[in-house]
Every structure is written in structure tokens, then in C-alpha cells.
Structure 1
Amino acid sequence: MSFANLGLSEPLLKAIAEQQYTQAYPIQKEAIPAILAGKDLFGIAKTGSGKTASFALPILELFQQKPSTRNRSPKALVLVPTRELAMQIAEVFQTFSTRLPRKIRTLAVYGGVSINPQMKAMLGTEILVATPGRLLDLMQNKAISLAEVEMLVLDEADKMLNLGFAEEMKQIFARLPRKRQSLLFSATLGDAIEGINQQLLNNPVKIEIVEEEQNLDLIQQVAYRVADERKGPFLRYLIKSQDMRQVLVFVSSTRTADNLVVKLNKNGIQAYAMHSQKSQGARVQALSRFKSGEIRVLVATDLIGRGIDIQFLPYVINYELPRSPKDYVHRIGRTGRAEASGEAISLITPEDEHHFKIIQKKMGKRVELRESDEVNLHGY
């Protein structure tokens, strides 16, 4: 379905087109009209399903009809579990705001950095994306009031509960106006999530996006036992010796992604890092160049990699293993789509071997573990 059929105005449609989005994802088709109609919403959807745009677009649409403010009372509050997600969501709001006739100010606040710049930036903020702990810090410093919040969004509520934010969220909920529109998104259902649903939502529209079962039989999986200090050269050896094109490499941190890309480019392998500290525009452009074959290797973190959707991606390489078996399946599931075969390669250090056995057990498939000690990596 086209975004033009969802009740969005022309400036937003132009911004959507500039980001090369053509068709709405399933959750966007259902959520956007419901939110525009003023309904509370309970959405069950995994990361990478398009849910950020499903709430960002209608919020921006509705806020265009409201006057701007110059106080410290945001009109929309988006609660998220991590700094990376806060930055990513704020950037989505900012990207889709570019064509709007009235400027809407969005701010992301999170811990781990000085609070003073965030306190100063609060004035005039209409959409606030926050981690619970930092939001409470700002409230205690009288830098923000929640008295005028009209829209509340809880994104990845299950992760917030898993990370121990239940008490912080309870304190925040107590300070919110009773009359508001609330949107709750979670990747999983459970008693705790259902409890928040009952507490926060008023007769919500419920949307559940069921993921298609990944056919792992189309994916050729192989792993190599590699000493940690040989991983970089061995990765370059694999790419060059097999003349790999369109290679998606997964790492666990933005720092590793950037360092890896520097080494790949120095060794004549055109590569680009995809993570939350890259702008939305830069990521869209890089993905387009990757699809066309101009960029040979894309190095991504899980947060960004989930949203990479390429129909015929031939190679996925786990430079570092993810924490959970589910994330492993999500990673390798970027290949082997549309009945096309793909290859998933994992580099396993001695420290990784026990965790990799757990991944295989949960996945229900055994992956051949090959030795790499005898491979001559001189020149790589």
C-alpha cells in the first residue's frame, strides 16, 4: 500500500519519497490511520518491522495542526531502553520533518553524557525521545515538565522491563496527564507487558505483526575457528579469495564497525559502516550504493542491520557473534530470501565456541566448524 493512502499530507509524502520509501510496511498500514484517528494502540512487532515510522509520521502530521511552544513541556514523549535507539528515533523524526511548513523540534536525551547540554536544549522541544533514567534526572533538576504531554509512546517496552526500568517507568507514568493518547510497542507479549497495557491504554487498537518463518535450509552455513588477532586478515582473505560481492558483515559495536571499515578500505575493499551514529540520509545513500554493487561490503550493528532488506543478498558474515540465538537467526536471515540461496559465515574465536554451541542448539541446526590456522594470511 502507498503512503498516499494513509491520510498523510503532501509535505510528509515528499519527505517519505526523498528517503526512497515506496510502500508502507504492514504495521504502518494499520497503525498510521489508527493514530491519526486519535486511538490508543498496542503493537506487537519486532525490531526492523518499520514501527518507528508508524508512530513518527502520524505524530508529525497531528502536530502540524498545533501551535509551536517555547516552554519546557514537550507535547510528545517517546520512552526507549537505550541511547542508540533514542538517537535513531529522534533522527527519524528529524528526517521526516524536513519538508514540513512548521518546524517541529525533536530532542533525544539519554545517560552516559553530560546532562547540562540536554537541559539547555529542552526549551522549545515538542517531541522528546528519552531513556527513563535520564528523563527522571531532568525532572529532578526541574529542566522539564510532563504536564502538557498529549502523546506517549513506549517503544520496545519488553526490553525496558528486561533492563530493569519498571520502577522508573512507574514514576514517570504517575507524572503524566490522564488525558492523552498512548502507544505501546513490544516485540513480545507477557504478563508484565499486559499489565502496562491495562494501566496505560484506553480501549486500544491491537496490531500484531507475525514474522514469516525463516527457511534456514536455503542458507549455507559455515564457521571458521579463528584466533582473535587473525580475524581481520582472515575476513579480508575470505572476501578477496572468493571474490565476494555484496557482503553484509555484522559486528557488536559502532567502534568495531568503524575500525573494520578503515582496514577494509586500506586493503582495497570498498566498505561502509552502518550504525546509529550515521545520519539517516547517509545510511539510505549507502544502502542504495550497496544494492547497486558500488559498495562491496556493508559493516552493520544489529540495531541498524535488522532494517536492511535486500531481496538477493548472497553473503552474511558474523565477524562477532550476537548475544542471542534469535539475533543470530535474524542476521543470517538477511540472505536466503525469495527462494534464492545464500551463504552465512561465522568467525569463531576460542572464547566464542561455547556460545556458538548454544546458538546451534537453539537453532536446531549443526554448523560445520572449519580450521583456519593453515591459511596463509600474509598480504591480507
Structure 2
Amino acid sequence: MSFSSLGLPQSLQKALQNQKYTDAYPIQKEAIPAILKKKDVLGIAQTGSGKTASYVLPVLTNLQGGRISKNRHIKTLVLVPTRELALQVFEVFQQFSQALSEPVKCLAVHGGVSINPQMKAMQNVNVLIATPGRLLELEDSNAVHLSEIECLVLDEADKMLNMGFADEMNRIFALLPKKRQNLLFSATLSKNVDDVKQVLLKDPLIIKIEAKVDSIDLIDQIAYSIAEEKKGPFLRQLIRQNNLKQVLVFTSSAHRADAVAYKLSKNGIQATSTHSKKSQGARTENLRKFKTGKLRVLVATDLLTRGIDIEFLPYVVNYDLPRSPNDYIHRIGRTGRAESPGEAIAFVTANDEHHFRVIQKKMGKRVKLIDTKDIDIKG
């Protein structure tokens, strides 16, 4: 289905054409018309399925020709779990807002940077994309008012609740007007998300887009049975021998990410780490270099499993397996996106073998496990 049949204004249709967007994704086909009609929506779809545009386009459309809001009284609030996702969502809003006859002022606010510039930038903002903690800081400082919100969006709701934002989100809900449109998007429908749905949504349209087997099949998966102490040398050997570039490596902790990146760099492989303990400036710059191909290896924690759109990323390495099978799927989902093939590599120690079988069962896909005992690991 083309975007022209979804009820969007000509200006946005033209912007979509200019950016080579032709057919709408399944979630966009269902969500856009419903949001345009001011219905509440619960959208469940895998990462990389077009969720962001499915609410950005109709939200911007609904803001056209509306009454002008009082200063610092925002109309649309988008809550996200991470700084990176806040910036990415802001970019999409900004991109399409510029195409409108009445551009909408949008702003992203998050922790990790000074609050003062964000307070000053709140003048005449209509769409605010925020992490929960920073939003409450701004509200406490009287820099933003939530009493006139017409539309609330929760993006990656499952991740927000799993990361312990429930109390902050409840405080925010209490500040909002009761009459508003609510849009909840998530990669999974966990118990926490279902509980929030019951409280937040009124007669919602529920959209559940099942992950296509084809999308998983775009990812060429391979696993190596390996001793813990050999992971580092083997990773370096894989990168060198296969001339791998744009490699996203996932580890279990910030300390581990730093150690892996340090060893790679020390051995002549350009690499750096990114995680929640890094400054926002460092995280943004490292991601920019990686996305543009100026950085060969980015070593990350699960901070980057959701919401970071790196188009045509060729390689993902699970240096450490995640605890949750869903997190494994989200990790490898960084590659094999937009119908582009990718390769996912997993390191499996003896202690990981049972857990890796559970992961494969959850995926519904077997992964070839190669024993590295007979491989000459030079690192």
C-alpha cells in the first residue's frame, strides 16, 4: 500500500517520495489512519519495522491548523527510554516537520548534558521528545507545562518499564490532562506493557505485527563454541582474516565493553566503546563515526539494542550472550534490516550452551555451532 492512500497531506507525501519511501510498512498502514482519527493505538512490532514514522507522520498532520499553544505548554509528548532514541526520534520529527506548510517546533531533552540550554530551548515547543527523568527535572523547574498535552506517545514502552522507569512514568501520567490521545508502541507485549495498556489506553486499536521469518532469514547466523579466555583473540582474528568492517559487538557490561575495545585498539583494530557511563557527547560522536563508516568496530552494551537505526549494518557479534532471548533477537536485529542481508556471530562458552538452545527455541531457528578447539587462534 502506498502512502498516498493513508490520508496524509500532500506536503508529507512529497517528502516521503523525495526520500525514496514508496510503500508503507504494515504497522504504518494500520496506525496512520487510526492516529489521524485521534484514536488510541497499541502497536506491537519488532525493531526496524517502521514504528517511528507510523506515529510521527500523523502526529505532525494533526498539529496542522490547530490552536497555538501557550509558551512552554506542549501539545505532544513522546517518552523514550534512552538519549540515543530521543535524538533519533527528534531527527525524524524534524525531517518531516520541515516539509510542512506550518513547520512544527520539536525538541529532544535527555540527561547526560546540561539542563540549562534545554530549559531555554523550550520556548514555543509543540512536540517534546523526552526521557522520563529529564522531563521531570524540567517540570520541577517550571520550564515545561504538561497540562495541555493532546497526544502522549510511549515509544519502546517495554524497554522503559524493564529499565525501571515505572515510578517516573506514573508521576508524569498524574501531571497530564485526562482527555488526550494515547499511543503506545513496543517491540513486545510483556505483562508490564499490558498493565500500562489497561490503565492508559481507551478503546485502542491494537496492532500486532508478527516478525516475518523472512526478516530473520536475512540474517546469516553462526555461532562458535569457545573458551572464555579465547574470545578476545578469536574476535580479532575474525575481523582481520575476513576484513570485517562496521562491526557492532555486544558485551554484558560497560567495564567489559571498555576492555574489549581497548584490546582491539591495542592490536591495531580501530574500535571504541559506548555505554551509559560515557558522556552524551562521546556517545553521539562514536555512533556518528560508526554509522558513517569512520569507525571499524563499536563495542556496546544493551543500550543500543533498541531504537538505533544503522542502515545496512553488516555485522553484529554477541561477544557475551544476553540473559533474555528477546534481547538476543533485538541485538541481531541491528543487522538484516530494510531487506538488506547481514551476519550475526555469537560466542558460546560451555556455560552458555543450554541458554543458547533456549535462545534458538525462542527464535524458532537453529544456528550452526562451530567448535573452535581445532582452530589455530592467533588473535
TM-score by length of 1: 0.75
Corresponding letter in the other structure for 1:222: A
| 1:139-150 correspondence to structure 2 within 5 Å | 139-150=139-150
CA distance in 1, matches of 2:360, 2:83: 30
Instruction: Identify unmatched segments of 5+ residues in structure 1.
Output: none
**1:30 Cα offset (Å):** 0.4
The residue number in structure 1 matching 2:370 is 368
Contact 1:70 1:123 survives alignment (8 Å) = no
Contact 1:226 1:372 survives alignment (8 Å) = no
Q: Report the CA distance shift for 1:361/1:207 in structure 2 as closer, same or farther (over 3 A).
A: closer
The residue number in structure 1 matching 2:284 is 277
The residue number in structure 2 matching 1:42 is 42
Instruction: Identify unmatched segments of 5+ residues in structure 2.
Output: 275-281
**1:218 Cα offset (Å):** 8.6
**1:43 Cα offset (Å):** 1.5
Is the aligned partner of 1:16 residue 2:23? no
Q: Report the CA distance shift for 1:353/1:60 in structure 2 as closer, same or farther (over 3 A).
A: farther
**1:134 Cα offset (Å):** 1.7
CA distance in 2, matches of 1:217, 1:39: 34
Contact 1:305 1:331 survives alignment (8 Å) = no
Contact 1:3 1:24 survives alignment (8 Å) = yes
What CA deviation, in whole Å up to 9, does each residue of 1:17-74 have, x standing for no partner? 3433222111000000111111111212222221111001111112122255461111
Q: Report the CA distance shift for 1:73/1:326 in structure 2 as closer, same or farther (over 3 A).
A: same
Over aligned residues, Cα RMSD in angstroms? Answer: 4.3
Contact 1:216 1:336 survives alignment (8 Å) = no
More off after superposition, 194-203 vs 73-82: 194-203
CA distance in 1, matches of 2:175, 2:269: 55
Contact 1:276 1:303 survives alignment (8 Å) = no
CA distance in 1, matches of 2:169, 2:111: 15
Is the aligned partner of 1:160 residue 2:148? no
The residue number in structure 1 matching 2:279 is none
Is the aligned partner of 1:103 residue 2:103? yes
Corresponding letter in the other structure for 1:139: E
CA distance in 1, matches of 2:40, 2:219: 40
More off after superposition, 12-21 vs 171-180: 12-21
Give SS of 1:86's match: helix
More off after superposition, 218-227 vs 358-367: 218-227
CA distance in 2, matches of 1:120, 1:296: 34
Contact 1:111 1:133 survives alignment (8 Å) = yes
The residue number in structure 1 matching 2:305 is 302
| 1:199-278 correspondence to structure 2 within 5 Å | 199-213=199-213, 219=220, 221-223=222-224, 225=226, 231=232, 235=235, 237-242=237-242, 249-251=248-250, 277=284
What CA deviation, in whole Å up to 9, does each residue of 1:141-198 have, x standing for no partner? 1111111111111122222222222222222112211221111122333444333223
Corresponding letter in the other structure for 1:26: P
Give SS of 2:60's match: helix
Contact 1:250 1:302 survives alignment (8 Å) = no
What CA deviation, in whole Å up to 9, does each residue of 1:127-152 have, x standing for no partner? 01112222122111111111111111
The residue number in structure 2 matching 1:33 is 33
CA distance in 2, matches of 1:281, 1:230: 27
Q: Report the CA distance shift for 1:323/1:14 in structure 2 as closer, same or farther (over 3 A).
A: farther
Percent identity of the aligned residues?
44
More off after superposition, 7-16 vs 215-224: 215-224
**1:278 Cα offset (Å):** 7.0
The residue number in structure 1 matching 2:118 is 118
More off after superposition, 212-221 vs 29-38: 212-221
Q: Report the CA distance shift for 1:307/1:48 in structure 2 as closer, same or farther (over 3 A).
A: farther
Contact 2:43 2:186 survives alignment (8 Å) = yes
Corresponding letter in the other structure for 1:277: T
What CA deviation, in whole Å up to 9, does each residue of 1:228-267 have, x standing for no partner? 7984x755643553466x875444699979x97xx89x97
TM-score by length of 2: 0.75
Contact 1:41 1:207 survives alignment (8 Å) = yes
More off after superposition, 65-74 vs 98-107: 65-74
Q: Report the CA distance shift for 1:341/1:49 in structure 2 as closer, same or farther (over 3 A).
A: closer
The residue number in structure 2 matching 1:73 is 73
CA distance in 2, matches of 1:58, 1:243: 43
Corresponding letter in the other structure for 1:13: Q
